[in-house]
A and B are shown apart, each in its own frame.
Chain A
Amino acid sequence: MQLIKSDINIDFIGKQKIGFALSLILILLSIGSLIVHKGPNYGIDFVGGTLIQIKFSQQVSVGKIRSGLSNIGFKDASVQNFGHDYDYEFLIRTSNLEMTNKGLSQSISEAIKASTGIAPEIRRVEMVGPQVGEDLRKKALLALFYSLLFITIYISGRFELKWMLSGVTAGSLMTAVYFLSVFNVSIAVLITAALVITLALFWVLRLKYAMGAIVALLHDVLITVGIFSILNLDFSLPIIAALLTIIGYSLNDTIIVFDRIRENIKGLKTKDAFPALFNKSINQTLSRTILTSVTTLVVLVPLYFLGGEIIHNFAFAMIIGVLIGTYSSIFVASPIVLAAIKR
């Protein structure tokens, strides 16, 4: 069976303006949403708070749970249905912390029993203090930064054989970030600055493949975070895991295309032939670019629908990441390498 014919020839490079426009719109929407919502919709992992998952043996109204909670002073608590309707499960979120109120989950359980008449089963309690939340946020950002950096070193090393150059660049960036973070400079600001410097350096040093890869990665991560922000989905620790996996995985498609470009580029001298060559390379690898994503999506979709509520958002982030990653390997990474070569 063959879905994508071997003689397929789509003019991707010719359509790169449409691609750039689409990417630009998505990125602007993402940034816009992040600005409007004042950053991602952080879950308790990153801002602190308490999350309690309860289950009833029969239908209970959200209003009754809420009134029970407000009876013990939790007016800010949010109550929402969790999972399927027939599970009678609810998620309670509050900024109250267990540590200020000993036996918080117990008092909540009693208050809900009083207001609904049914004793809930407490299935999960997560409490994160504000200090821990801040630490986790810092760690998450650093993890994103380091994985981007290491992957870039690898790409520029492998594709341009400039191990030393990219290693030294990355090493100095890491040291700078490390020392500045000791002096309490905001990690978010620091990492943004480091990334901008990295991109500028790659442009100046003509590390074209590495630049194409990192721009595509930033594009994928930003849009995934943006879609989460637009849909107002909880941004929690598993989402960071998903983002890191996307960083590692969405590069697979990019590498396949890059490898083919390098294979085809051997012996080619004139710059004019490059657009056609890039097109040929993308078309030659199109079936595997799409199929590898399809096989991954084939397992992610069941995970999204059947994997349970806790893993739901993780699967969603991965699905978006794989889709955007496939798109960006064709419409973002390669055109940028082409632009860098033409320069």
Chain B
Amino acid sequence: MKPFTFKTVLITGVILAAIVWLLPTFFNCWPHKKINLGLDLQGGMHLVLEVQNIKAVEAEVERTIQEIKKQLRKEGVKHLGISRLKDNSILAKFQGDENKSGFETVLSQNFENLITQKPQTDNNIITYKLALPEEEADRIKKMATEQALETIRNRIDEFGVSEPDIRIQGGDRILIQLPGIKDPERAKDLIGKTAQLTFRLVDDDVDVNLAINGTPPVGDEILYQNKYNPNSGTSTKIPFLIKKRVLLDGSLLTDARVEFDQFQQPQVGIEFNRKGARIFDRITGENIQKRLAIVLDNSVYSAPVIQDRIAGGKARITGSFTLNEAKDLAIALRAGSLPAPVKIIEERTVGPTLGADSIRTGLISMIVGGLLVILLMVTYYKKAGLIADLALIINIILIGGGLAAFQATLTLPGIAGIILTIGMAVDANVIIFERIREELRSGKTPLASVIAGFDRATLTILDANVTTIIAALVLYQYGTGPIKGFAVTLCLGIIASLFTALVLSKNILVFTLKNKQVSKLSI
């Protein structure tokens, strides 16, 4: 048998390729692609967020109501209240024919996209029910998710995480993977912040405490300021009566930075663009001696009295921030607000020490299991067992090379998958060797037995492995995170073991037999 047949070249080629792919994981060399470790091995955070994008629809409906009211004011049409219902439809009430026709003109001219039901008349009051078209609501929801994804990506980029993975996971869910994150709580806080910044007037005409006990006046709401007392370590909640009308919001920001006041307390300085600066200039000029509240995500940060018109479009958000809190708020404001609040619906965080422990215990059990199998094969099948052991070691190299070449992720269940394939890889050899023994007993020569053994066992081995691959593929399709890693190593392991058993072992056995003309087979 010639040493350079097509088969031997193929076998060496495959093994060499696997070694080349595997080397960068241990040494710094070409092709510079290490095996990716999953979050459960290197530590990190896996989050699934649900964008409550129905809130974005609500906001759009509210905006539409304001628009309608504005147009009605312009046209001099009087209404008896326009409000949003729970199902996000709009209820508008009118009295008198001229108001009715005026409203209908406004609707047909400016709001023809709204679906209008036939008006109901009751006691001379005409009631209209309007709604956003279904497609429009779906579009808003979809936009909200995409925008949230973009915003979160910007925030994480600024926060500084290497190789984050952020993507939409079906409908309104966003999957975030942050490998090696040091401070998961802080990252979660930053990601989950809606960062809805608004400037609104404080209603000083009514006493807050009266409003708390009764109902707040129309157009007002009660919001609280969290005051932290560093001396006692407690925080108190101070109520404010805030007008619902938003004078200016965070969408017109150009910059947000951490600054320090004269006591070296961190605060966040913000800067508006030209339009924002003009609005800020106007509202401060119109409301001198009134209190302007800075409201962030429905809590009041400060409500200073406007002393004078403020030009230049700069403002400060003060509060008892720690430096990190101020930094994160600045990041969130720069990256923009989320179009709708998000809710964390799944979290899996693994600390770096646990990841390192998992790698260690995984490797230990792999080595112990591997050595036991190697011993078992040598004692049971003698020299043929050695060939099986060689095949096993090459099998592991192939799995590693495959992981690196396909840039698959190795997880803790993935390591378990490799360990399992160590046990399964020799199965193929067991099936072949048992068959060869059987053929030998029937009186065939060693070479004929080996060839017959492989021929008859091949189909059985293929069948047995196809069923395992089917299960692994289904698992890959339905599995998440670490479990996917298990499916990957299992698939790679099975393919590698088919190669090592049916191609490699066979050729080594046939090669040794043909060259030596042995009359007895050590099996």
B62-70, B225-233, B471-479 - the one binding chain A: B471-479
Q: Is A273 an interface residue (CB 8 A)?
A: no
Asked if B423 contacts A297 (CB within 8 A), the reply is: yes
How many interface contacts (CB-CB < 8 Å) are there between A and B?
A: 225
Contact residues of A between 137 and 195, Cβ < 8 Å to B: 139-140, 142-143, 146-147, 150-151, 154-155, 158
**Which residue of chain B has the shortest Cβ distance to A145 in the bound complex?**
B474
Interface mask (B294-309 → A, CB under 8 Å = 1, otherwise 0): 0000000000000000
Task: Tell me the bound Cα distance from A244 to B467 in angstroms.
Answer: 10
Q: Which of B40, B430, B438, B490 gathers most chain A CB within 10 Å?
A: B430
Asked if A295 contacts B416 (CB within 8 A), the reply is: no
Contact residues of B between 405 and 451, Cβ < 8 Å to A: 412-413, 416, 419-420, 422-424, 426-427, 430-431, 434-435, 437-438, 441
Category for how many chain B residues contact A: 35 or more
A58-66, A68-76, A119-127, A196-204 - the one binding chain B: A119-127
Q: Is A234 an interface residue (CB 8 A)?
A: no
Contact residues of A between 258 and 314, Cβ < 8 Å to B: 259, 284-285, 287-288, 291-292, 294-303, 305-308, 310-311, 314
Asked if B467 contacts A103 (CB within 8 A), the reply is: no
Q: Is A245 an interface residue (CB 8 A)?
A: yes
Task: Tell me the bound Cα distance from A121 to B362 in angstroms.
Answer: 22
Task: Tell me the bound Cα distance from A147 to B475 in angstroms.
Answer: 8
Q: Is B361 an interface residue (CB 8 A)?
A: yes
Asked if A299 contacts B475 (CB within 8 A), the reply is: no
A12-20, A21-29, A247-255 - the one binding chain B: A247-255
Contact residues of B between 338 and 375, Cβ < 8 Å to A: 343-351, 353-354, 357-358, 361-362, 364-365, 368-370, 372-373
Asked if B463 contacts A306 (CB within 8 A), the reply is: no
Q: Is A6 an interface residue (CB 8 A)?
A: yes
Task: Tell me the bound Cα distance from A329 to B174 in angstroms.
Answer: 44
Asked if B361 contacts A6 (CB within 8 A), the reply is: no
Q: Is A205 an interface residue (CB 8 A)?
A: no
Contact residues of B between 467 and 487, Cβ < 8 Å to A: 467-472, 474-475, 477-480, 482-483, 486-487
Given A295-B373, A296-B427, A298-B376, verify A128-B346 contact (CB < 8 Å): yes
Asked if A244 contacts B474 (CB within 8 A), the reply is: yes
Given A147-B470, A306-B368, verify A292-B431 contact (CB < 8 Å): yes
Looking at the assembled complex, report how far the CB atom of A85 sits from the nearest CB atom of chain B, in whole angstroms: 16
Q: Which of A238, A240, A244, A285 gathers most chain B CB within 10 Å?
A: A244
Chain A interface main SS type: helix
Residues of the A chain whose Cβ atoms lie less than 8 Å from the Cβ of B511: none
Looking at the assembled complex, report how far the CB atom of B224 sits from the nearest CB atom of chain A, in whole angstroms: 16
Quick one: which of A142, A237, A299 contacts B372, CB cutoff 8 A? A299
Q: Is A211 an interface residue (CB 8 A)?
A: no
Q: Is B464 an interface residue (CB 8 A)?
A: yes
Residues of the B chain whose Cβ atoms lie less than 8 Å from the Cβ of A231: none
Asked if A288 contacts B362 (CB within 8 A), the reply is: no
Looking at the assembled complex, report how far the CB atom of B413 sits from the nearest CB atom of chain A, in whole angstroms: 6
Task: Tell me the bound Cα distance from A34 to B55 in angstroms.
Answer: 42
Looking at the assembled complex, report how far the CB atom of B388 sits from the nearest CB atom of chain A, in whole angstroms: 10
New A-B contacts (4) at CB < 8 Å, excluding given A252-B424, A303-B365: A125-B348, A128-B345, A151-B471, A154-B466
What are 8 A-to-B residue pairs whose CB atoms are below 8 Å? A99-B344, A127-B347, A139-B478, A238-B482, A245-B471, A285-B434, A292-B427, A295-B430
Q: Enumerate the 5 nearest inter-chain pairs by beta-carbon distance, A residue then B residue, closest first.
A: A248-B471, A299-B369, A248-B468, A129-B345, A296-B423
Binding site for A on B (CB under 8 A): 40, 48, 50, 184-185, 189, 192, 343-351, 353-354, 357-358, 361-362, 364-365, 368-370, 372-373, 376-377, 379-382, 412-413, 416, 419-420, 422-424, 426-427, 430-431, 434-435, 437-438, 441, 459-460, 463-472, 474-475, 477-480, 482-483, 486-487, 490
